[in-house]
Amino acid sequence: MNLDELKIRKAFSDKDWQEIKAFDTWQIFKIMAEFVDGFEKLSKIGPCVSIFGSARTKPEHPYYQLAEEIAYKLTKEGYGIITGGGPGIMEAANKGARTAGGKSVGLNIELPFEQSSNPYIDRDKLITFDYFFVRKLMFIKYAQGFVVLPGGFGTMDELFEALTLIQTKKIGKFPIVLVDKDYWQGLMDWVTKTFIKEGMIDKNDMNLFKVADSADEAVQHINEFYSRYLLKPNF
Q: Taking the model in full, what pTM does it have?
A: 0.85
The answer to whether residue 138 sits within a structural domain is yes
pLDDT of the chain along its 235 residues, tens only?
444 455 555 666 766 656 665 666 767 878 888 999 999 999 888 899 999 999 999 999 999 999 999 999 999 999 999 999 999 999 999 999 999 999 999 999 877 665 688 999 999 999 999 889 999 999 999 999 999 999 999 999 999 999 999 999 999 999 999 999 999 999 999 999 999 999 999 999 999 999 999 999 999 999 999 887 654 554 3
One domain for residues 1 and 54: no
One domain for residues 9 and 81: no
One domain for residues 190 and 218: yes
Domain containing residue 109:
46-228
The answer to whether residue 235 sits within a structural domain is no
One domain for residues 95 and 208: yes
Q: Total structural domains in the chain?
A: 2
Q: Kindly report the CATH number assigned to the domain that includes residue 80.
A: 3.40.50.450
One domain for residues 32 and 62: no
Reading phi first (left if > 0) and then psi (alpha if -120 to 50, else beta), residue 83 is in beta
